[in-house]
Every structure is written in C-alpha cells, then in structure tokens.
Amino acid sequence: MTLSAALRLALAAAGALVLAAIATDSIGQQLTRTSWIGWLPGGAGSRVLLALAAGLVTHLALRRAAGTSPRRSRVRAVVFATALATGLVWQLQTGARLQSDAFYYYAYLRSMAFDRDVDFTNDYRMLGLGDKTHLFDSTPTGYAQSAWTIGPSIVWSPFFAAGHVAATRLAAGGREVATDGTSYPYRQSIVIAGLVYALLGWWFTLRFVGQWFPGRAAGTAVALMAGGSFMLWYTVVEPTMTHAPSMAAVAGFLWCWAASRDRRGLEAPRHTSVPWWTLLGLLAGLMTLIRWQNALFAIVPACDGARMLWRAARSGRRDAGVTVALGGLAFTLTAALACLPQLLAWKAIYGTYMAVSPVGPKIRWTMPQLELVLFSSRNGLLAMSPLLCAAALGLIAFVMRHRAAGLPLVAASAVMIYFNASIQDWWGSDGFGGRRFDGVIPILTLGLAVAWQWLRHVAITRPHAIVGLGLAGVVVWNLTLMSAAQRGVVRLGEAIPFGTVAGDQARTLHGWIGHPFSVPASWWFAWRNGVSPATYDLLAPAQFLGDPLQPYGRVDIGGADAHLVTDGWAAAERDGDTTFRWALGDAELFVPLAHTADLDVQLRVRAFVFPGSPPQRVSIDTGRATFGPFEVGPDWETIGVATPASAWRRGINRVTLRFARATRPVDVGAGGDTRALAAAVDFLRVSQR
C-alpha cells in the first residue's frame, strides 16, 4: 500500500470516527440527558456541519483508496451514516419526543413489557392520558378501549429494551428515573427508533427503485423524496408516530415483490416460487400489523397472481396455474399467521378476533373526499408536498413503459387514495402533510426517478426552454412587484424589508391563480362556483355537511368566518360576548355545502332602530328560493326557517339577506357615519333535518 493510499484510508477512518462519535453522543443525550463525548461542539448547527464535513471527507477519501471509482455500497454507507448522525442531532434540536397518537401505540409496549397484558387502564393514566375519558369506557372484557395496532410496539421493542437498560443504570446511579416504562429513556428510545426505521425505509426504497433505474437516478430520487416529502417531519420532528416504520415495512414488501417477480413467474419451479410467495405473505402481515390500511398493498402481488392464472388458463398450463394458486394460498396463510398478535390482542380487549373500536375514526365508503385529500390546502397530499406532483406524473410515465409492474402499483395507490379519502378526518387531524400516505411514498419515488430522468433529458436537449422558464419567473416577480407598488405596500423611493414585499407578492400571485399546487382542482372549483381560485383553499375543505357526525354548519359573521362574508357588510364589531357585522342594506355571504339536503336555517339578528323608525324585515335568498320576509326586532333574536333541498346547490351557495330598509345614522343624529345600516347580524346556521 502506498503512502497516499494509507493517508486516504486514515482520513476515511477519521471521518467515520467523527460520525460515530456524533451519533453516539446524540443517543446518549437522548437516553440519559448527558453528553458522553466532551470534545464535540455543543451547538446543533456546529454538529450538523461537522457531520456533513466528516461524511464528505470519508466519501472523498474512499473514492480512490482502492485505486478505483467508489463502489456504490461505500457511497450509500457513507450517506446513510451521515444521515443518521445529522438526524439524531436534528431530533435533539427539534425536541422530538413521544407525543400525539404515539402514546396509544406505546401503551401496548409498556403494558406487555411490564404488566404482561393488553389492558391499558393503568397505562393510559401512567402516560398522562387520564383526561381522555372515552378511553376508559369498558369493553366487553372489561378492558380499556384501543383503536390502535400492536405492530409498532413489536418493531419498537429492541429500542425499548435499550431504553430499559439506560433507565436501570441511571436509577442505580442515584438518578430519579422510573424503571416502569414511563420515564424519558424509554420514551426517547422510540424517537431514535423512528429515525432508524425511516432510514431503513429509504434503503429499501432505494433497492426497490433500483430494480428499474441505475444507481444515480435511484439515489437522487430517494434523496429528493426524503427531503421534499412529509416523511422528513416524521423522521426528525414527530418520529414516534407510526409513519416511519410503516413506510419501511411497505418499502421492504415492495422491494421483495419487485426482486422476486421472475422467481414467482409462470416459468419458475414450485420449490422456488412458493417460498417467495410465503416471504411476501410474512412481510404483508408485518406491514398490516403496523398500520391496518397497509393490507391494501397486497393488491400488488394479487394482480401478479391474477395475471399469471389468466395466462396459465389460456395456455392450458395446468401445473403452472397450480403453482401460482399454491403460492397465493401460502401468501394468504402466512399473512394471516403474521397478523396473529393483533387478532389475539383484539380477542383479549373486545372478546372477538376481529373488532372495530368505537373510538376510532369512521370510514365513510360512499362519501370519499377524493379531490380534497389530494389537492386541498388542508393537508392535501399534492398541495402540501409539491414534489409529489412531479412524482405522480412520473408514475404515469412509468406505467406506460412497464405496464406489467406499473399497473399493480397504480392500482394499490388508487385504492389507498380512496380509502384515505373515505376516513372521517380525511385530512389526518393535526398531522403534517398527507401522513396517511406513508406507504405510497416508495411507489411515488419510482415516479420521481422517471421525472428526474426526463428533466435531465430536457435540460440537455432543450436548454433554451429551461432558461426561458426560469426567466419567466422573473417576469412574474416584476408583475407582482408592480401590483404591490400600486396598492401602496411598496412605497416608491423608500426602503422596505424583503419579507414584507415578497409576502405581498405571494398573496398577489395567490389571488391571481390560487394555490399553485391545488391546480387543476382549484380552477375547476372556481369555474363551477363562480369564485376566485384563491377561495378554494378555505372554502373547499370546510364545506358544511361534509362530516356525518357534524350535520350542520355555522357562519360566524363577525368572528373567524370572514372568508365567508362577501358584499354589503361593515367591519366586525363586538356587543359583549357577541361578535357581529352591520348589514349595509342587502348583504351576501357564502354557505358552502358538501351536498344538498333539507336544511333548517337560523339567523341571529337585531334591527337598526331609532325613535319612530319603521319596522325592519328580512328575507333569506339562497339563489334558488326566497324565504320570508320575517320581522326583525330591536333586540337580538334568532329567526328560524325550514328549507327544502331544492333551495340549495352542492358547492358554494351565495345567500343574500334582503332587508326592507337601510338608514343612515347621520340622518337621525347618530353621528358622522354616513353608511346606511339595516341590521346587526351575529350568525347564520344551517343544520340537516
């Protein structure tokens, strides 16, 4: 070995040592809240830069250490080691901890480890969930409620065991640390598990995409998806949610499916085909244990099996058909066997092997919010993660190139979209982005690899188009800047912070085209309802009657529903605890409906009166029917009217309140306000009959 080669190996070893030190010390800070290695810099930013520098040095040193270009495995090892070290530091910086729904999954782990049961009555209280009274409604077997899966506790268990070791040693050393599964060493071990499973998922995704694309394209697609999708949040901010292990399990399943397609084909011998089907079934059961809806990805090998059975029947190959059938049977039995832990847990909690918890979100199969779950600003999959738009288009192109492999993947993705759109809280409650699509991420990464290759091709063959598109953005910048100057946001000749003017420019562009990543849904919504595309963001996701558990809707005229208040209104005011607006004659508001129905309408209102003023009356015009007039008194009162479904339309209803008169206060000595006032309006409420 030459001196130069030895020096490179020494640099590579030094870089790897630094990465190991950063990772080890970060783990120590998570589990024991103490730094194990004193010579490392303390700041998170400094540690991230050090980890990136160490990774780069290691990569460059290995590049020629063996006298050849770097092997793909070396590059990947360095990248993942760097990602692990920086991810652990980032978790410390964001304060990642056990939180949200993770407590309900964690209850399985604590209860099984310490109580040897799945009765979470004491576990919920120990974890600070005692105020969630619905959890303690007794099940048929007398246990606490649980709408969550057992799988996360299984895959978290090795990390939980490490947390137990740390807690035990801290307690033995005199630290006040509980060793009953509730203290921070146990909880933070799940944080670390989330990062590890996320990286494992990306490794499986890399291998999956690599079945069709060269290493550089696959690696680029994985890196972009890891940084540009909602999965980054569930890696470093909320890693204790189930999305990281769920994505890892689905990615492993898809890789196994893709890598074994030839081994399970019609030409494959039975002793080769059936074991692969069995392994696929085991992985299918595991991913279902982690998140129930992951069972839908079994559609992918099911499509393979159906296609092969059809071909075997058409060609008269009875033996091949029997082999495929045996493989399908092995897949089903193994998947069911792998799901046995959940079945046993359900049996213990609810007294039956198949159970639906009353505390879980309801599935509304006949009312899927397909458009909203994809394009809505309320955690819509594509609207919140724009990179996935390119990935979705690339997936379509992939299907055109590889139909046999692409169609099953698209079918599984489509069914998952329908399922997630049918969940009662289709937006995923308080989650970040389209979190329930974690299992679709490996499939979309495949599409992103196609999009990446196409964009590279366009950049090489049509550089003028790329440059022109980039400069067109500068033109848009100038147009929005001119608009800001016209409206006085930018005062000509004066200094102004960039954030102020850029924010107004973004609002201007939004007013013109709406949410750019909600197109075409927002444009269709605007055309169908006669409103601006910008209104899609707030109106479409919050349509009344969209939730069967909330068959009503309320427009708070003077409160938070300013986006539903249109023409004919004064500014919001307050009368004690009541917020309201004055109607300046006829006044219009939006009533967005997910569907039509017979509705009871309530209007809380009081007239503007003065000595000798004539009576005030109001009519409610829905655009398809008019109800009233109703007399309005000087005190707050609620007017009620029953309306038929024919008076409404699905979508945005422009409801006009038509008043008999409007009087200028100045005419009766009320002051200098020259506006004509009709009545003060608190709210308009609709409820399904």
Chain mean position to CA 213:
27
Give pLDDT, residue 3: 66
Cα–Cα distance measured from residue 377 to residue 392, given in angstroms and rounded to the nearest whole number: 18
Q: Which residues of the chain have pLDDT under 50?
A: 67-69, 668-671
Question: Does 83 lie in the same domain as 115?
Answer: no
Whether 287 and 297 have beta carbons less than 8 Å apart is answered as: yes
3-state secondary structure of 6: helix
3-state secondary structure of 155: helix
Whether 369 and 546 have beta carbons less than 8 Å apart is answered as: yes
Whether 127 and 182 have beta carbons less than 8 Å apart is answered as: yes
Q: Which domain holds residue 52?
A: 3-94
State how many domains the chain has: 4
What's the whole-number average pLDDT of the chain?
A: 92
Amino acid (1-letter code) at residue 141: T
Question: Does 371 lie in the same domain as 227?
Answer: yes
| Residue entry with tokens 């209860």 | 111
CA-only gyration radius of the chain, Å: 31
Tokens of 81: 């080691």
Closest to 285 in 3D by CA, of 444, 475, 149: 149
How is the chain split among helix, strand and coil, in percent rounded to 5? 60, 10, 30
Q: Which helix (H) or strand (E) holds 166?
A: helix 151-172
User: Residue 559: which CATH number?
Assistant: 2.60.120.260
Residue 36 backbone dihedrals phi, psi, to 5 degrees: -90, -25
Question: Does 111 lie in the same domain as 80?
Answer: no
**Does residue 530 belong to any structural domain of this protein?**
no
**Does residue 532 belong to any structural domain of this protein?**
no
Question: Does 135 lie in the same domain as 52?
Answer: no
Question: Does 107 lie in the same domain as 167?
Answer: yes
Whether 194 and 241 have beta carbons less than 8 Å apart is answered as: yes
Question: Does 584 lie in the same domain as 547?
Answer: yes
252-278 pLDDT, tens per residue?
999 999 999 999 988 888 888 999 999
**Does residue 534 belong to any structural domain of this protein?**
no
Question: Does 109 lie in the same domain as 62?
Answer: no
**Does residue 457 belong to any structural domain of this protein?**
no
The residue from 489, 524, 559 where one domain ends is: 524
**Does residue 62 belong to any structural domain of this protein?**
yes
The residue from 396, 430, 451 where one domain ends is: 451
Cα–Cα distance measured from residue 392 to residue 410, given in angstroms and rounded to the nearest whole number: 10
Cα–Cα distance measured from residue 96 to residue 98, given in angstroms and rounded to the nearest whole number: 7
Question: Does 278 lie in the same domain as 182?
Answer: yes
Give pLDDT, residue 74: 80
Burial 265-276 (b: 16+ CB within 10 A, else e): bbebeeeebbeb
Handedness of CA 639, 645, 646, 650 (dihedral sign): positive
Q: State how far the alpha carbon of 356 is from the alpha carbons of 343, 361, 366, in Å.
A: 12, 10, 19
In sequence order, which residues have a C-beta less than 8 Å from that of residue 672 and are 6 or more positions away? 666
**Does residue 531 belong to any structural domain of this protein?**
no
Question: Does 488 lie in the same domain as 415?
Answer: no
> CA neighbours within 13 Å on the CB side: how many for 325?
11
The residue from 524, 550, 577 where one domain ends is: 524
**Does residue 472 belong to any structural domain of this protein?**
yes
Whether 526 and 514 have beta carbons less than 8 Å apart is answered as: yes
Give pLDDT, residue 674: 66
In sequence order, which residues have a C-beta less than 8 Å from that of residue 396 and are 6 or more positions away? 410, 447
Question: Does 498 lie in the same domain as 396?
Answer: no
Question: Does 519 lie in the same domain as 549?
Answer: no
Determine the number of helices (DSSP H) and then strands (DSSP E) in the chain: 23, 10
For residue 602, how many other CB atoms are within 10 A of its CB?
Answer: 16
Per DSSP, what are the bridge partners of residue 639?
A: 603
In sequence order, which residues have a C-beta less than 8 Å from that of residue 620 and are 6 or more positions away? 601, 603, 626, 627, 628, 630, 641, 655, 656, 657, 658
**Does residue 265 belong to any structural domain of this protein?**
yes
In sequence order, which residues have a C-beta less than 8 Å from that of residue 325 and are 6 or more positions away? 309
CA dihedral 133, 134, 137, 139 (to 10 degrees): -140
Question: Does 111 lie in the same domain as 89?
Answer: no
Within 399-557, strands assigned E span: 552-556
- The DSSP bridge pattern shows strands 552-556 and 679-688 to be antiparallel
